A and B are shown apart, each in its own frame.
Chain A
Amino acid sequence: MIKALKFYTGVERIMKAFTFQGIMFGVCLIVVALLTIVPAGAGPIDGFKGQQGTIRISGGTAHIPVMKEAAKRIMTENPEIQISVAGGGSGVGIKQVGEGLVDIGNSGRKPSDEETAKYGLEHFKWAIDGVGVVVNPKNPVKTLSRDQLKAIFAGNETSWRALGGQDKMINVYTRDKASGTRAVFWKKALDKGVITARANFVVSNGAMKSAIGNDPYGIGYVSVGHMDATVAPVALDGVVPTLDTVKSGAYKVARGLYSNTKGEPSGLTALFIEYLFSTEGRQIVMEKGFIPVR
Chain B
Amino acid sequence: MNRENVARRLFLSAAILSASVTVLILGFMVVLALPLFKQGLFFEILSQPWLPDSSIFGIFPMIVGTASIALLSLVFGFPLSLGVSALASTFAPTRIGFLLKKTVQMMTGIPTVIYGFVGVFLLVPIVREMFGGGSGMCILAASAMLSVLIAPTMILFFSESFENVPKQHIDAVDALGGTPVQKFLYVILPGSWRGILTGVVLALGRAVGDTLIALMIAGNAVALPSSVLDSVRTLTSHIALIIAADFDSLEFKTIFACGILLYLLTTISVLVIRVLSSKTRGMP
Contact B136 A215 (CB under 8 A): yes
Distance (Å) between the CB of B133 and the closest chain A CB?
A: 5
Tally of A interface residues using CB under 8 Å: 41
Residues of B within 8 A of A8 (CB): 105, 108-109
Q: In the complex, which residues 1-37 of chain A have their Cβ closer than 8 Å to any Cβ of chain B?
A: 1-2, 5, 8-9, 11-12, 15-16, 18-20, 22-24
Residues of B within 8 A of A176 (CB): 241-242, 244
A200 and B212 CA atoms in complex are apart in Å by 15
Contact A19 B247 (CB under 8 A): no
Considering the complex, give the chain B residue whose CB is closest to the CB of A179: B244
Distance (Å) between the CB of A153 and the closest chain B CB?
A: 13
Interface flag for A197 (CB, 8 Å): yes
Interface flag for B73 (CB, 8 Å): no
Considering the complex, give the chain B residue whose CB is closest to the CB of A199: B221
Residues of A within 8 A of B223 (CB): 196-198
Contact A16 B212 (CB under 8 A): yes
Interface flag for A92 (CB, 8 Å): yes
With known contacts A1-B156, A215-B136, A89–B244 Cβ distance under 8 A: yes
Considering the complex, give the chain A residue whose CB is closest to the CB of B244: A178
Interface flag for A241 (CB, 8 Å): no
Interface flag for B112 (CB, 8 Å): yes
Contact A201 B220 (CB under 8 A): yes
Contact B111 A177 (CB under 8 A): no
Considering the complex, give the chain A residue whose CB is closest to the CB of B222: A197
From the candidates B111, B230, B243, name the one contacting A12 in the complex (CB within 8 A): B111
Interface flag for B124 (CB, 8 Å): yes
Contact B113 A23 (CB under 8 A): yes
Q: In the complex, which residues 58-78 of chain B have their Cβ closer than 8 Å to any Cβ of chain A?
A: 61
From the candidates B160, B206, B211, B220, name the one contacting A1 in the complex (CB within 8 A): B160
Interface flag for B153 (CB, 8 Å): yes
Interface flag for A217 (CB, 8 Å): yes
Contact A217 B212 (CB under 8 A): no
A3 and B124 CA atoms in complex are apart in Å by 35
Interface mask (B233-247 → A, CB under 8 Å = 1, otherwise 0): 100000011111111
Interface flag for B178 (CB, 8 Å): no
Q: In the complex, which residues 111-125 of chain B have their Cβ closer than 8 Å to any Cβ of chain A?
A: 111-113, 120-121, 124-125
Tally of B interface residues using CB under 8 Å: 50
Residues of B within 8 A of A11 (CB): 109
Considering the complex, give the chain B residue whose CB is closest to the CB of A215: B135
Residues of B within 8 A of A196 (CB): 223
Q: In the complex, which residues 5-58 of chain B have their Cβ closer than 8 Å to any Cβ of chain A?
A: 49-53
Interface flag for A38 (CB, 8 Å): no
Contact A171 B240 (CB under 8 A): no
Residues of A within 8 A of B240 (CB): 20, 24, 203
From the candidates B156, B221, B244, B247, name the one contacting A200 in the complex (CB within 8 A): B221
Residues of B within 8 A of A95 (CB): 244, 246-247
With known contacts A16-B211, A214-B125, A177–B135 Cβ distance under 8 A: no
Residues of A within 8 A of B220 (CB): 200-202
Contact B153 A16 (CB under 8 A): no
Distance (Å) between the CB of A94 and the closest chain B CB?
A: 9
Interface flag for B85 (CB, 8 Å): no
From the candidates B124, B153, B230, B277, name the one contacting A5 in the complex (CB within 8 A): B153
Interface mask (A84-122 → B, CB under 8 Å = 1, otherwise 0): 000011011001000000000000000000000000000
Considering the complex, give the chain A residue whose CB is closest to the CB of B132: A168
Residues of A within 8 A of B277 (CB): 2
Interface mask (B207-225 → A, CB under 8 Å = 1, otherwise 0): 0000110011001111100
Interface flag for B256 (CB, 8 Å): no
Residues of B within 8 A of A173 (CB): 135
Interface flag for A194 (CB, 8 Å): yes
Contact A201 B157 (CB under 8 A): no
Distance (Å) between the CB of A154 and the closest chain B CB?
A: 11
Q: In the complex, which residues 67-93 of chain A have their Cβ closer than 8 Å to any Cβ of chain B?
A: 88-89, 91-92
Distance (Å) between the CB of B138 and the closest chain A CB?
A: 9
Distance (Å) between the CB of B149 and the closest chain A CB?
A: 10
Contact B134 A171 (CB under 8 A): yes
Contact B111 A16 (CB under 8 A): yes
**Given A200-B137, A214-B125, 8 extra CB contacts under 8 A:** A9-B153, A169-B133, A177-B52, A177-B245, A178-B245, A201-B220, A201-B222, A217-B135
Question: Could you name 13 residue pairs across A and B whose Cβ atoms are closer than 8 Å?
Answer: A2-B160, A5-B153, A9-B153, A16-B112, A19-B112, A20-B212, A168-B133, A176-B241, A176-B242, A177-B245, A197-B49, A197-B50, A200-B219
> Which 7 residue pairs of A and B lie closest in terms of their CB atoms, listed nearest first?
A178-B244, A201-B220, A171-B135, A197-B223, A19-B113, A200-B219, A92-B244
